[in-house]
Amino acid sequence: MKAMEIIIMICGIIGTAYTVLMAYKAIFTIIGVFSYRKFPKAKKEHKYGICVAARNEDKVIGNLLDSIANSDYNLEQITVFVVADNCTDDTAKVAREFQKNGLKVVVYEHNNPDERTKGFALRYLFDRIEEDYGRASFEGYFIFDADNVIRRNYLTKMNEAFDAGNKIITSYRNSKNMNQNWISFSYAMHWMRTCLTENRAKAF
């Protein structure tokens, strides 16, 4: 057998193996594009803490808080916890002064130059929640970035999934500025592909 024939045969074997191993992707894509898991209406409005780690986000955090305040969920069951992480701007001030529809916003300030990542900020935040409220006083937690915004029915839909018995939930998300430039468009397409062709199918 000639060397070229051997190479072609090996490539064929590798290609076949790769196709078999990746076949599940095609199945995920079909399921994700054409169907999604639906949950029954929740029997209970559960109590949640919304956690936001924010570093120098005074320009955008108000948008997130505003979208939460405009939610169709019972805001008496929601407490927003913001940790202003090593901030040099007015993030803490903006969050602390936010007032709309009775939304409760609690602000902590974390100032430690040796701890400058989101993980440190969230650890600090949950330690403060434990001290002041007790983590178990909330049935579940949301974790948002400060530049996120949510749809009006987002919390209601997530509550339906939680009420159905799901303990860890990843929601659909996408970019707000997908038409700004090719970079933002690429990120938007990435999130659409991930949510539609992977996460949806994994929910079944």
Q: What is the CA radius of gyration of the chain?
A: 22
Q: 115: burial class by Cβ within 10 Å (0-12, 13-18, 19+)?
A: middle
CA separation for the pair 73, 77 (Å, rounded) = 8
Q: Which residues contact 16 (CB under 8 A, 6 or more apart)?
A: none
Give the global pTM.
Answer: 0.81
CA separation for the pair 98, 8 (Å, rounded) = 66
Token digits of residue 163:
């009420």
Residue-level pLDDT at 204: 62
Query: Across the strands, what pairs with 78?
Result: 48
Distances 49 to 74, 81, 87, 105 between C-alpha atoms, Å: 13, 7, 22, 10
The pLDDT tens digits for 135-176 are 999 999 999 999 999 999 999 999 999 999 988 888 877 777
The mean per-residue pLDDT over the stretch 19-30 comes to 74
Q: Is the pLDDT of residue 79 over 90?
A: yes
- Specify the higher pLDDT residue, 49 or 182: 49
Q: Among 6-10, 34-38, 150-154, 198-202, which stretch is predicted with the lowest mean pLDDT?
A: 198-202
Residue-level pLDDT at 202: 67
Whose tokens are 């399921």? That residue is 31
Return the percentage of the chain with pLDDT > 90, whole number: 61
Q: Is 13 left (phi over 0), alpha (psi -120 to 50) or beta?
A: alpha
For residue 165, give the nearest of 31, 48, 42 by alpha carbon: 42
Residue type, 22: M
